Chains A and B, each alone.
Chain A
Amino acid sequence: MVGSVLVAPREVHDLVFRCARVAGCDAGGADRTARNVTMAEVQFGGALAAVVDALSFEAFTSTWARAADALVSAEVNARQHGSATVTFDPPVPLAALAATVSEASARGIVVSGVPGDATGGSEIATLDLAPGQVEPAADPGTNVYRDGLPVDRGAFDALVEAAAAFLVAEEALDALEG
């Protein structure tokens, strides 16, 4: 990867969480967004750029949150009725869904419709869900927890900058304490 930086997965989670909070998500929604993005970056790469785009359009609290809610609703429908289809309008990047897909899989739901060559930025319009034998996720080929996760430096730096708004100025806090 040209212009990459080696990071720990928890750094991605922490930054995205803070960005999502600043964008207006409550802590629970921000954590879900952060887990989705982190899993997408680890499994598919390219998720951070999608986050930077989402920040521009304030998507975390609207399209991203609704998409994850819709996927969960479809999972419950599939468990009750044998199958379900969820449509995202507008389409959302895989970065908004990856961990939610994984959690559905862990509960025995096969989620189809993610392209084989997808990245975290790939737009997903439709997913099909049905109970079944879930294939294990592809081995990323390296242990990112041991060796680090290479991510786009520009996107990472942009997230660092955006996440800084989560912090409160030391001077303001000192002033409160007199």
Chain B
Amino acid sequence: MVPERLQVELAVRGSRLRPPEVVMRPEMLGAARLTRYSFSRTMLRRAVAGGWTACRTSQDLDAEGRGESVYTVEADGHRFSFVAFTTTIDESAHTDRVIAERWEVAGVLVEGEVTEELMATLRVEVPEQERGRLDPRVLCLTRGNRSVRFFGYLVDALAAGQQPNPDRVGDAGYILRSTAFYANGKFGMRSFAGYPTDHPLGPPYRAQFVAAWLFRELGYDMVEHCARIKGGETAVPFDKEWRRFFGLGNATGLGLVPYAFKHPRVLDAWVGVREVALADQRDLPGDPTSMERLTVWIARARRHFATGGDDDCHPFLNARSLVPVLDRIASAWEDASTSDLPFDALYRWAEVDGPETAEMVVSLLLELHEADDALVDEMLVVEEHAAADPAMTVGEARRLLDERFDWLADLGLDEAKANTFWWVVSDNTEEPRRALRSLLAPEHRDVAIDTALRLWRLRADLVAEDSDTPIHRFLAERPEHRLAVERLHVSDRRYGEPRDNACAAGYLPLQVQRFQLAMYGMDNYKPKSTDWLRVTLFQGAPRLDDLGPDVTDDWVLPPRPGSPA
């Protein structure tokens, strides 16, 4: 069997990598930030490198922005269209939860021609979202709402011939707020495995991020369209300062958590890509150019966060609270600059300072790192399923448990509070939720992300077994351990397991959610409870018209319009 590319790259770096006991700590995952290797960034770099073109091909909206829009991307000989249906709903019906029955925007990403026959189907099925039925021409299904606070204000400002007041909208960062981006065979859409290896949307999550980028464009177009209708000749478009500032909002709930716990090899790839880059960057001596670039990035991040909000973002730091973190980083960088390995010295200091500092430094250091994006895409491709060998002995299983899951002993898994929650799928559009075990019995309806508990029980039950007993015989007698044995086998990667128990009383979903959102390329993490948060995607990113060879990748952390340089 040929080892996956990421495993080869990790093996080469060996002890230069951060250990999983540092990286996979919930506090560290919960401090992750978007990096150069987040999906939004790699998608746009690949689009520029591949000479993709994108435009709005049709739009038919009324004065309130209700109607149909189609955006097209030409990529490496393939045509993709984002088809969006927009309407308005009463403010009282706005909700970010997936259980909402109506959305102001419903869209799909389609490959190939959008024929009238397909359009007729989409008009019926797409607004239905989870209740609709799609086919393999459709790659991604999404939806969202307008920002209640800002959409109307932005329309009014532009209609009056004025640009927005930064104090009114500067820390919002978005016009439309999305929720789910369904793909990979859901509701009849194309399976991820159905993309050929050379397909431009073949890398993981590429289709979703093309859809998200076009979704963001729709927000700008809707505001400018409504402003033109309302203001007539007085109306103006967003000016140069504002035309890239808004990203796409997103609201994210518990649905991310089961994914993280059920896909250890995917999680390993997401973490591994960052860690390979970090190890390389830390290993470099400081040359004047790259050292100056880091100084500039630190200042840029400070400027970005200094003009952000001061909302309560517990347990995370809000934008303003990140300013002293960046001041400490700037000071530490001055000291580290004299070291033989200045980037490594800065990181070592940051890890001691705390998770928010460490992960801020990771994101800044990775801005200096320039990997081959084709290699990054390749490193993200993993074979998820690997059947355990039934001839494996109990003794071998015990050895693997000790080797791969020794950290379970630190989680207090014998305590009653370790088994407080079970995870459930609600009958309302299949929203994942948690339920207290003391109030509702699972009755075989639990989503099996109790990985830590299952492996801990397996460990206990293997004690009484003869070491030479083949595992298939043990499983025939104890089928409740099958999932744990399969996990033991497939969890052969460095960064596959969050070192946490998703069923514990004190479990905080926000931490693994933040890691996933950071990997997507989201920022501006604003928790609304322990279970869900709002974020921003593509803030500062190039627009469709910008695509071209001159587009650079340094669009993140944009300054708020009107803020001092």
Contact = CB atoms under 8 A, between A and B. Distances in A.
A147 B194 contact: yes
Contacts of B192: 145
Interface string B458-492: 00000000000010110110011111111000000
B195 interface: yes
Given A73-B476, A146-B136, A176-B439, A27 B448 contact: yes
Contacts of B480: 26, 28
A106 B439 CA distance: 45
Interface string A115-159: 000000000000000000000000000011111100000000000
B390 A8 contact: no
Nearest to B185: A8
Contact of A167 (B436, B445, B472, B475): B445
Interface in B402-432: 424-428, 430-431
A6 B439 CA distance: 40
Nearest to A143: B194
A61 to B, nearest CB: 8
Contacts of A148: 135-136, 188, 190
Contact of A173 (B191, B433, B484): B433
A82 interface: no
A166 B196 CA distance: 34
B285 to A, nearest CB: 47
A146 B445 contact: no
How would you classify the secondary structure of chain A's contact residues: helix, strand, loop or mixed? helix
20 contacts: A6-B136, A8-B186, A9-B191, A11-B185, A22-B444, A26-B479, A26-B483, A27-B446, A72-B390, A72-B472, A106-B387, A144-B191, A146-B136, A146-B191, A146-B196, A148-B135, A164-B427, A168-B424, A173-B424, A173-B433
A145 B444 contact: no
Interface centre among A35, A169, A170 (most CB of B within 10 A): A170
A6 B135 contact: yes
Contacts of A24: 444
Interface in A35-65: 35, 65
Contact of A29 (B446, B470, B479): B479
Interface string B484-503: 11100000000000000000
Given A26-B479, A145-B190, A176-B436, A69 B445 contact: no
Contacts of B136: 6, 8, 146-148
A173 to B, nearest CB: 5
Contacts, number: 129
B390 A173 contact: no
A35 B424 CA distance: 22
A11 B188 contact: yes
Contact of A27 (B385, B424, B427, B483): B483
B184 A10 contact: yes
Contacts of B426: 167-170, 173
Interface string A55-91: 0000000000100010011011001000000000000
Contacts of A168: 424-427, 433, 435, 440, 445
A161 interface: no
Contacts of B389: 107
Nearest to B444: A21
Contacts of B430: 167
A32 B482 contact: yes
Contacts of B391: 76, 79
